[in-house]
Chain A
Amino acid sequence: MLSARDLTKSFTTSEGSLQVLSGVSVDVAQGESVALTGESGSGKSTLLHLLGCLDTPDSGTITLKGAPLHDLDEAGRAQIRRSRVSVIFQQLNLIPSLTVAQNLDFQARLAGVLDPSWQQELTQRLGLTHLLTRYPEQLSGGQQQRVAIGRSLAIRPELVLADEPTGNLDEATAETVLDLLLEGVGRSGSALLMVTHSPRLAARLDRVLHLQEGRLR
């Protein structure tokens, strides 16, 4: 379903050009869950950003169900993010000025695919029913990530990209959040590519990819 070929990406720093990805190729099948591991600075987040249309590669190709994503303009990339690929970050996923309820259905309404019954089901399964009127700042880290998961699944995306979604959480909460994430992507039929430092969490996914110095090993 998702196919990336020979992706390269470099950044300009005060000390010159820094090569972050050097010819990375990756495939993710529909409904598959894949863990992406690697040391800090190995390029995990950069790869996730390229696949999530948050950034563009220097070279290489990315296709989603055969449609090229790598040469889209900003509007085209925004369209993909809005309706086909959801991204969950480690922190600050939510819009601070909106309530939990508004955050939950924000993306689905943007994409014009709001399904109230699916929304209600997600809210119940994620245990957010009693938090709907609260603002993000009034939630714990785990609660915030549950809202982020709910929001990202509300559009039934083809692909969920998660960048260390449990990185800021304690072990027990992290397990719960991952349970909910895996259950959610399973019910919505989405594929999942998750960046994690934790071998224990990675082991719970279908497949593990390891990135080292900008290359997959």
Chain B
Amino acid sequence: MNRAAFAALWSHWRRHPVQLATLVAGLALATALWSGVQAINAEARKSYDRAAGVLGQDQLDRLEASGGITVAQYVALRRAGWNVTPMVEGDLPKDNLHILGVDPLTAPPQPALAAFAGDGTALAAFLGNGFLLVSPETAARLDNADLPPLRIAADVPPDTAITDIGVALRLLNTDRLSHLLIARQQPMGLAPLSDITDLRRVTPQDQSSLAQLTESFHLNLTAFGLLSFAVGLFIVQSAIGLAFEQRRATFRTLRALGLGLRRLMTLLALELGAIALVSGIVGIALGYGIAAALLPDVAGTLRGLYGAQITGTLGFDPLWALSALGIALLGVTAAGAQALWRVARMPLLAPAQPRAWAMASGRAIRVQTAAALGLLTISAALVIWGGSLMAGFACLAALLIGAALALPVMLLALLRLARKFARGPLGEWLVADARQQVPALSLALMALLLALSANIGVGTMVGSFRTTFTGWLDQRLASELYITAPTADEADEIRAYLAPRSDAVLPIWSVDITLRGARAQVYGIADHATYRDNWPLLQALPEAWDRLANGTGVLINEQMARRDRLGLGDMLALADGWSEPVLGIYSDYGNPQAQLITGTDALAARYPDTPVLRFAVRVAPARVPGLIADLTDRFALPEGTLRNQSEVKAAAMNVFDQTFVVTGALNVLTLGVAGFAMLTSLLTLSTLRLPQVAPVWALGVAPRQIALAELARTALLAALTWALSIPVGLALAWVLLAVVNVQAFGWRLPMQVFPDGWLWLGLWALIAALLASAWPVWRLVSLPGGQLLRVFANDR
């Protein structure tokens, strides 16, 4: 009995292969986009763990000092019996390599160093001439670099090299240790650290870990994945809904023949489960492909935004595959629940004639509108009272779902308005018919609305960010030339050389401090018009620059002000005995850390040992190339130490653009899925359009005219949906800029609008809608007349 009933149910898909393909494709796409994003997130998090876990840096306390630690300080601690291990860290910009120098004899256990255990020869080589332990992908990249020999160790993070501390000091051209790690196990009876050293002890929880910093980025990515998944589910729900409506007669017959309702429901659930399984497998393959394609861009984004090193290659995790299958099953359950519920409630003697599919009643639309209003109210409430990143995303979700649910009633209202402007019988028919089609097409149109709104919202955010960032760069990078000297002596020489040959030489120097439990950078700047005229101050006290020059106050960046709720005039304790009022707050986009600015003299007085290696040089732009040539000849400066303003700006803009590559790709994918949803809905509806089209044809409207009217109807609905997506997109952008960004990054950007972008998007939406409707319309109007005449025929 089960087999016969299942065969009867399955025969529907055999007769409607396009519908089955639609269902599988929709579910596979939804699964692919969601699981692809999850794979990217998982891979990135794995990289963070690998980076954080190197030599236990994420677990052990460390000792730090601004300007580094001398060997003498280290030796003093060892002599006092403290079990500490020295670390040297720094970057080789030329090779894009992070160097990590360790002492393998005192370093905590670490997988990357496991090869030395019991291998005296390898250890001797490591300590002797030295070599660099790197990951396979880094080794491939550095094949011909001018570096010590490379050895491969799988557990080393990408673009990082672990080496002996001596080699690291040599490579980084320094004589100071970066910090000391304090082992957990220490001998009994040691003198307190504070008695032996004035080094600062920092516990891991005091540091802003990479995982925490990047969490908001991954949350963003997850939100996009969820949006794509939701858009894909619209396709699935519409395909399942149609298939169930078309089989109402089959359900009634099967039940009339003695198949119990429970058994029928079980068979239908099994059928959907089988489809979900197949779609899930296809989705896994697609998702893996998407993740592999996007991962290099994500790696670039994370490197640009946070300096995080992510491997550009994707591993395969069976758990991920299982979770993707789970999400496919979950998706089909969510999308099929309504259809199954209808079957369960269908009386045995209900009319078997398929209803006008998905033709929502007035009551259903009223309920939907009420739900939409409720969600939009919740969204507004979250803006006012939310106050967290999660609340920001919940606000976005409520806004998008609310707007999607409100779409049918808004479209109906707009079409009622359009009726007044319709000309001629065909024009009136077109508008009237469009109104009647709204409930049937609403799922696809909601998907389109979501995709268009997301595009406008994210486009507005990125555009606002780009415009603000460009202006901000002009302010921040006002000097014409930037120099980084290799050593303090050379820095002095260069400075002396430049003094008579430039308008001004402005030192750029900073120290790292721990402020209110988090790392912060303090910059000392000279009193110069370059800063007074250009620095992007958001708020400032009167005479802030004069007071800064006198060393009686600090400027802080926006993210610090927001995070610590600091305002103008608030006192800030920078170190023991050093407190200053906040004189001003400046924008500092793209910087995850707190930053402060004080006068050069004030900083020099407290950190006299910190060398000043970087300078900004003010000089007439025309003289920059000549000056670069002179400096290069005279001081034999290595590559990358001299950078003119345009180079620095170009590099910053490159990082910026890289940051939004993934967002752009996901935007296009979501729009593509929405276009596919339109295609599938129009395709499945085309067979149900015959009763609408046949009378018009019989009354003497030529098929070509009908085709044009059908295309115009789709274009009209797409255009109205696009028009409605603009306010939704702008609201989305506002929430992103004023709520999510502030919570995630600590800065707020002024919102700007880009109407030309909307027009382009509208054009694309129109093209997508017309392309999606081309095939269904062609199918409809190329039906032989006999098929259209059958509409009028009765069984006789």
Interface residues of A (CB under 8 A from B): 11, 40, 45, 49, 54-55, 74-75, 78-83, 87, 89-98, 102, 105-107, 109-111, 151, 163-164, 167-168, 197
Contact = CB atoms under 8 A, between A and B. Distances in A.
Contacts of B796: 40, 164, 167, 197
A91 B702 CA distance: 21
B293 interface: no
A168 B432 CA distance: 27
A169 to B, nearest CB: 12
23 contacts: A49-B785, A55-B785, A74-B702, A74-B703, A75-B702, A78-B700, A78-B701, A81-B699, A82-B700, A90-B794, A92-B791, A92-B792, A95-B696, A96-B436, A96-B692, A97-B432, A97-B433, A102-B428, A105-B425, A110-B699, A110-B701, A151-B699, A164-B796
Given A55-B785, A78-B701, A94 B794 contact: no
Contacts of A197: 796
A83 B700 CA distance: 8
Contacts of B699: 81-82, 106-107, 110, 151
A97 B359 CA distance: 13
A97 B415 CA distance: 13
B794 A54 contact: no
Contacts of B703: 74
B435 interface: yes
A54 B785 contact: yes
B692 A81 contact: no
B695 A93 contact: yes
A109 B786 CA distance: 26
Interface of B: 424-426, 428-429, 432-433, 435-436, 691-692, 694-696, 698-704, 785-786, 789, 791-794, 796
Given A92-B694, A109-B425, A163-B792, 20 more contacts: A45-B789, A45-B793, A49-B789, A54-B785, A55-B785, A81-B699, A82-B700, A87-B698, A90-B794, A91-B794, A92-B791, A93-B792, A95-B695, A96-B692, A98-B432, A106-B425, A107-B699, A109-B424, A164-B794, A197-B796
B429 A97 contact: yes
Of all A-B residue pairs in the complex, the 4 with the closest CB atoms, nearest first, are A82-B700, A81-B700, A89-B792, A109-B425
B287 to A, nearest CB: 41
Nearest to B435: A97
A166 to B, nearest CB: 12
B702 A95 contact: no
B113 to A, nearest CB: 76
B787 to A, nearest CB: 11
A102 B436 CA distance: 15
B465 to A, nearest CB: 45
B700 A95 contact: no
A54 B789 contact: yes
Contacts of B424: 109
Nearest to A53: B700
B786 A102 contact: no
A138 to B, nearest CB: 13
A80 B702 CA distance: 11
A49 to B, nearest CB: 6
Contacts of A168: 794
Nearest to A94: B695
Contacts of A93: 695, 792
Contacts of B433: 95, 97
A60 to B, nearest CB: 17
A72 to B, nearest CB: 12
B700 A79 contact: yes
A168 B433 CA distance: 26
A110 B700 contact: yes
A95 B785 contact: no
Contacts of B700: 78-83, 107, 110-111
Contacts of A163: 792
B421 to A, nearest CB: 16
A89 B794 CA distance: 10
Nearest to B693: A95
A110 B425 contact: yes
Contact of A96 (B691, B704, B786, B792): B691
A81 B794 contact: no
A82 B298 CA distance: 61
B698 A54 contact: yes
Contacts of A96: 436, 691-692
Contacts of A97: 429, 432-433, 435-436, 692
A21 to B, nearest CB: 14
B428 to A, nearest CB: 6
A107 B785 CA distance: 19
Nearest to A114: B425
Contacts of A82: 699-701
Contacts of A110: 425-426, 699-701
A161 B161 CA distance: 90
B695 A92 contact: yes
Contacts of A167: 794, 796
A106 B792 contact: no
A168 B793 CA distance: 11
Given A97-B435, A98-B429, A55 B698 contact: no
Contacts of A75: 702, 704
- Residue from B433, B694, B796 with most neighbouring chain A CB atoms (10 Å): B796
- Residue from A89, A105, A151 with most neighbouring chain B CB atoms (10 Å): A89
Contact of A91 (B435, B789, B792): B792
